Amino acid sequence: MDVEDINAVQALLLYNIGEAEVVIRDLKDRGYYHGSNVSYNIKKLTEFEYLMQERCAHDRRSIRLKLTDKGMRLCNGIRSLQNDLAAKVGSSPDTLKALDGASQALLQVERTWTDFIRYGHE
């Protein structure tokens, strides 16, 4: 897409905001961005005109984020790429069967970890 002014984490942040208006605290509280500095990424996305920030009228401490037109174009481009990829992946019965098997294996791993955490090892 010839976008070189932001990184993958920042693009994901834009994608997850999408058409919504989001309070910065909500992004942090959801825990989507562990290992990344949300404040830094928001600052950069605002600086490069992908995001707009405005203070909430009822709570001046909270800042709402909304994509600019530039941010929305990138978000839509990412969505289009994802749809194209999903169509290619989903077009083969063998691939769908393999994905189903992988999904089942991941569910088993999740259950194993959940049981271990809940009941300990025996």
Structure tokens at 71: 């941010």
pLDDT in tens, 99-110: 999 999 999 999
- Say whether pLDDT at 30 is over 80: no
Query: What span, in angstroms and rounded, lies between the C-alpha atoms of 36 and 19?
Result: 22
The CA dihedral of 11, 14, 15, 18, to the nearest 10 degrees, is -160
pLDDT in tens, 45-82: 999 999 999 887 777 777 889 999 999 999 999 999 99
Output the average pLDDT for the chain: 87
- Bigger pLDDT: 70 or 28? 70
Task: Give pTM, 2 decimals.
Answer: 0.70
Structure tokens at 59: 């709570």
- Say whether pLDDT at 122 is over 70: no
- The percent of residues in the chain predicted with pLDDT above 70, rounded, is 92
- Say whether pLDDT at 37 is over 90: no
pLDDT, residue 34, reads: 61
Query: What span, in angstroms and rounded, lies between the C-alpha atoms of 63 and 57?
Result: 9
Residue 103 three-state SS? helix
